Structure 1
Amino acid sequence: MARLALASGARVVGIDYRLAPEHPYPAQLEDALAAFDGLVERGHAPGEIALAGDSAGGNLALVAQLALRDRGAQAGCAALISPWLDLAASSASTRANDPTDYGTRDGLARQARDVAGALALDDPRLSPLHARLDGLAPLFIQVGDAERLHDEGVELARRARAAGVDVTLDVLRDMPHNGPVLAEYHPEGARGAETLGSYLRACLSAASPAPRARPPSTRPGAGAPAHRA
Structure 2
Amino acid sequence: MRVGVVTFPGTLDDVDAQRAVRIGGHEAVALWHADHDLQGVDAVVLPGGFSYGDYLRCGAISRFAPIMTEVIEAAGKGLPVLGICNGFQILVESHLLPGGLLRNDHRTFICRDQKLRIENNETPWTAAYAKDQEIVVPLKNGEGQYVADDETIKRLEGEGLVVARYLDVNPNGSMNDIAGIRNDRGNVVGLMPHPEHATEALTGSGLDGLGFFTSLAAGAFA
Instruction: Tell me the TM-score normalised to structure 2 length.
Output: 0.43
Pair member with larger Rg: 1
Query: Could you say which structure has the higher helix fraction?
Result: 1
Instruction: Tell me the TM-score normalised to structure 1 length.
Output: 0.42
